[in-house]
Amino acid sequence: MIAANTINLDELIGDFQVFIDGKVTGRTVMKISQQLSTGLLHRAIAGTGGQMSKLTRKTALFGLGIAVMLSACASVQSDFDLSFSDTPGFDDERLERIDEAVAAEIASGKISGAVALIAKDGQTVYHKSFGLADVDSQTPMQTDSIFRIASMTKAITSVGVMMLYERGYFQLNDPVSDFIPAFKNPQVAVAFGGDGEVIETRSAKSEIKVVDLLSHSSGISYAFINQPLQQSYKAGGVIDGLTAADVKLADGMRRLAAQPLLFDPGTQFAYGLNTDVLGYLIEVVSGKPLDRFFREEIFAPLGMTDTDFYLPESKADRLVTLYADVDGLRVSDGTEADIKLDNPRYPVEGAKAYFSGGAGLSSTASDYARFVQMLLNEGELDNQRLLSRKSVELMRAARIDWDDDGLADFGLGFQVIGDIGKAGEIGSEGAYSWGGAYNTSYWIDPKEGLIGVFMSQVRPTTSDITSRYRTLVYQALE
């Protein structure tokens, strides 16, 4: 970064001329704006001496006016941490492709708006909002807009479990029934009736271990997923994770524990309510409700001031409206998607009693970026250490095949790229990630020192912008 008491007047003149010639770019705008905001432009013009002949007073005043206008406009949508030089590690013109792609996705009617954030080597290099948080009221999306992050909750719960593991409360290979007895002596479903009801079970070959829950290899699934136990889950009142009803997590886990498993624990991958069980494990072991544990042990240390299960009234107007893409984008009533919401105004309405460790949190892009930056830093952020380096290494180590490609590519809470050639998209081996049901996603790339967060709010959707966003970030790397 250029020192605060220096300025290159020739470069500044050139930037003004570029603007006058109609060739201005976003980078030129921000360079002029930053020089104005730091007071350097005024000092440069006042002390130019012989150089002043290169820039007439009229042109200078015109440039000042333009800079004032652009500085004001730029501050509305972006939280860039910019210097006069190009964004470290990125090609700035290529970064602008992100803007174009997201704007096109909004114009196509697939999403109403979005917030995107990139940080590299601990520095936020891109943080921008697009479109509308609410179409009917024409409320602009802001960088501090709040999103239902759904399954991005899982990473936070998994970190909470690892924190208790590091304090010596349990081993990862301990049976979860040591702490939640309802899960003792699990059964595996082996036969089903014509209506999908379970008509025969057998004893599982092993107990469900904590590590099986972390890696989604316990045999537990979701009711919204089309799988053999779907009807049994629905008949048993199993909660998929989000509810406005006055139900406690302990009751939800009691219903789940009464269900048989899809397979013997530890033998294969099945995405499911595993992390909700882990959330209840945190409650049992810590003696704290999950929302309190998160606030005290994770959110407060990391400075995540806008992340919680339920929003206070003072933040309700920042919650992005949930949309459904059904013959065009419309406000969701909670019934259009495979995941049903008994109140689409979750998390600002309802009983606010159920703390789903697998799906219940809402957050902002910047809050969640602080969390994933902690993981990139191997467990520490701003002198607050939540996990040891060795625990983070274990979490991002591939353990089980989650997508049937023959490779171990899921760790303890994350999808992990084990073979970049097999993945078939640009990225890095060892990068790990996940996303949320309502079109949110994140990834962490230790090799590049990179994190990315993308948040929108729609389900069902035909949009693939979360995947293309990652490609657009990688193609902009120098």
pLDDT digits (tens, 9 = 90+) for 276-320: 999 999 999 999 999 999 999 999 999 999 999 999 999 999 999
3-state SS assignment for residue 150? helix
Q: Kindly write down the DSSP assignment for every residue of 172-237, as one continuous string.
A: TTSBGGGT-GGGSS-EEEEEE-TTS-EEEEEE-SSPPBHHHHHTT-SS---SSS-STTHHHHHHTT
Q: What is the pLDDT of residues 141-162, one digit of tens each?
A: 999 999 999 999 999 999 999 9
Judged against a pLDDT cut of 90, whether residue 217 lies above it is answered with: yes
Can you name the residues that pair with 134 across neighbouring β-strands?
Answer: 139
Task: Spell out the residues 6+ positions from residue 422 whose beta carbon is closer than 8 angstroms to its own.
Answer: 405, 407
Fold topology of 156-290: Beta-lactamase (3.40.710)
Given a cut of 60, is residue 32 above it in pLDDT? no
Res 256: pLDDT:
98
Helices 465-475 and 92-107: crossing angle, nearest 10°? 170
How many angstroms separate the CA atoms of 455 and 147, rounded? 7
Which residues are bridge partners to 444 per DSSP? 432, 451
Q: Which amino acid is at 321?
A: T
Q: Are strands 450-455 and 147-148 parallel, antiparallel or unpaired?
A: unpaired
DSSP at 325: E
Contact yes or no for 459/437 (Cβ under 8 A) = yes
Percentage of the chain exceeding pLDDT 70? 82
pLDDT at 88: 83
The band of 86, judged by pLDDT with boundaries at 50, 70 and 90, is low
For residue 395, the SS3 value is helix
In this structure, the number of other CB atoms found within 10 A of the CB of residue 85 comes to 10
End-to-end CA distance of the chain: 18
Name the segment(s) of the chain with CATH classification 3.40.710.10: 92-147+304-475, 156-290
pLDDT of residue 55: 38
Beta bridge mates, 434: 442
Residue 436 token pair: 């949320």
d(CA 163, CA 216): 19
Instruction: Judge residue 249's burial from the number of C-beta atoms within 10 Å of its C-beta, 0-12 exposed, 13-18 middle, 19 or more buried.
Output: buried
Sorted by sequence, the CB contacts under 8 Å of residue 319 that are 6+ apart come out as 145, 146, 147, 148, 311, 347, 348, 362
Alpha-helix runs per DSSP H in 78-123: 92-107
Tens digit of pLDDT for each residue in 287-298? 999 999 999 999
Q: What is the mean pLDDT of residues 218-233?
A: 97
Answer whether residue 22 shows pLDDT above 60.
no
The pLDDT score that the predictor gives to residue 449 is: 98
State yes or no: pLDDT of 53 exceeds 80. Answer: no
Concatenated DSSP letters for 18-61? HHHTT---HHHHHHHHHHHHTTHHHHHHHT-GGGGGGS-HHHHH
Q: 378 falls in which pLDDT band (50, 70, 90)?
A: very high
Confidence category of residue 125, pLDDT binned at 50, 70, 90: very high
Note the pLDDT of residue 212.
Answer: 98
Handedness of CA 259, 262, 267, 271 (dihedral sign): negative
Distance CA 207, CA 188 (A): 11
The dihedral through the CA atoms of 439, 442, 443, 448 has a sign that is positive
Question: How confident is residue 24, by pLDDT bands cut at 50, 70 and 90?
Answer: very low
Higher pLDDT, 265 or 72: 265
pLDDT digits (tens, 9 = 90+) for 390-402: 999 999 999 999 9
Answer whether 444's CB lies under 8 Å from 375's CB.
yes
Domain 92-147+304-475 architecture: 3-Layer(aba) Sandwich (3.40)
Which CB contacts under 8 angstroms, 24+ apart, belong to 72-77? Answer: 74/29, 74/30, 74/33, 77/128, 77/129, 77/130, 77/143
- In the predicted model, what is the mean pLDDT of the chain? 87
Q: pLDDT for 240-259, tens place per residue? A: 989 999 999 999 999 999 99
Helix (H) or strand (E) holding 367: helix 365-376
Q: What is the pLDDT of residue 87?
A: 76
